[in-house]
Amino acid sequence: MRVAYLGPAGTFSEEAVRASGFGGTDLEGIPCDTIPEAIEAVGGGRVDRAMLPLENSIEGSVRTTMDSLLEQADRVSITAEFRHPIRSALIARTELRLDEISKVISHPQPLAQCSRFLRAEMPGAELLVAGSTSSAVREVSESSEPIAALGPSTAAGIYGCVVLKEDIEDESGNETRFIWIAPSADTDASATADAGDWKTTLVFSELGADHPGALVDALVEFSSREVNLVRIESRPWKKQLGRYLFYIDVEGREDDPLVAEALEELRQKAGMVKVLGTYPAWSDD
């Protein structure tokens, strides 16, 4: 099984792919430079699956994943989710004191997740954004400057670097919710899961002209049927300033009678409704 992830080798995404155990020993990881590239690889049939970060317990949603999922909604679907602990390390090419480091490079998420540590311990360091944590470590490994990267400690070994400090994230319970992406026609979610153990992710546009209670009009279709919403977030629609899309997660399968009724009524009100996936919900058991 060919699985795309945000690369290069040594990212938290690759860690999550390996930790999930999905695909077993037959799994072939395919690193991609960007999240849209990984999703497009699934939609174009170049890989079987992709694992992507969707939401972090400290910094919230990964917006690139959300936007790219909508763009490819007719070709790919969410088929499963997986939560993975995120433990960030400060990595350099050689041993350095913290006050010697002039720049810290990483993906925007770890930079935000470790912001308290960076402010307190390295207030003079310039913060730079990289496409992924492992590309940041690779850049550090190739530089003679006194710079460092934030990333998984395993990336230090891959690129011949050293770990200066581990577990520097602001909250010890830091974790990321990853999602498995598959071609829309390929549903591999377990059919044995109970209805209450499923989750459906969808996105819809605003309801016609702006008016008081417009969002409530949409959400009441779920609440009136006692369909529980576990997450809601707005994103700019990009067509015009002040217009939004709403991403929501609801408990239950797309074809559960009450969920299906709510979706049908929502389609009568909203200009656009797209189901991004219906899949077994994560369990700590």
Token pair, residue 4, equals 């795309």
Q: Which residue in 176, 200, 201, 278 is the catalytic one?
A: 176
In single-letter form, the type of residue at position 256 comes to: D
Token pair, residue 257, equals 């009678």
3-state class of 56 per DSSP?
Answer: strand
Q: Report the chain's C-alpha Rg in angstroms.
A: 20
Q: Which residue in 12, 178, 204, 222 is the catalytic one?
A: 178
Which candidate, 154, 108, 162, places its Cα nearest to that of 10? Answer: 154
Question: Cis link prior to 8 (omega < 30° from 0)?
Answer: yes
3-state class of 150 per DSSP?
Answer: strand
**Which alpha helices (DSSP H) does the chain contain, by range?**
12-20, 35-43, 63-71, 108-113, 115-121, 133-141, 153-158, 214-223, 257-269
3-state class of 161 per DSSP?
Answer: coil
Rounded to an integer, what distance in angstroms lies between the CA atom of residue 30 and that of residue 8? Answer: 9
187 in active site: no
Q: Are 112 and 192 in contact (CB under 8 A)?
A: no
Rounded to an integer, what distance in angstroms lies between the CA atom of residue 177 and that of residue 52? Answer: 9
133 in active site: no
Q: Catalytic residue numbers?
A: 176, 178
